[in-house]
Every structure is written in C-alpha cells, then in structure tokens.
Amino acid sequence: MNAIMPYQQEDIARVQERIVEADLRVSAQMDRIERMIEKGYDVTEAKEMLRQLELILDQWHVQRRLMLDALAQR
C-alpha cells in the first residue's frame, strides 16, 4: 500500500491470516525434519526450507508491524 491509500483493519486481518498460515507451515516443516531425523535421512535441504519459511514468517510480522504503526499514526 502507499500513502494515498491508508491501511484498513481488513488489510491487517489478511496479513494476520498469512502469519497464521506461515506459522503452520513452519511447524509442519519442523515436524517433517524430526521424522526425517528419526528415520536417518539427510535433513540439509529440509532445514534450508525451514529457514526460508522462517524468513517469510518474519517478513509477514514486519509487514503487520508497519501497518499497525501506520494506523496508529492516523
């Protein structure tokens, strides 16, 4: 969004949904890694995927914080 079109509560709700989805994906990937370790599999790629998912989740959190800050400044 830009300065012309301020954020709305619906925008924050959509970002919150993305955070929940990303959090679920992170949890699922962690579970996969645990199962892979138990079976003796190489988890190098799975851990890299987890790292990428965590980065995405972090970015959604940043986006939400920026939106909340923008709303608070109204």
Query: Which tokens hold the place of 28?
Result: 């699922």
Q: Quote the tokens at residue 40.
A: 């003796």
Over residues 47-59, the pLDDT tens digits come to 999 999 999 999 9
Which segment of 2-6, 10-14, 32-36 scores lowest on mean pLDDT? Answer: 2-6
**HSE on the CB side for 44, CA within 13 Å?**
1
Q: What is the DSSP letter of 44?
A: H
What's the pTM? 0.83
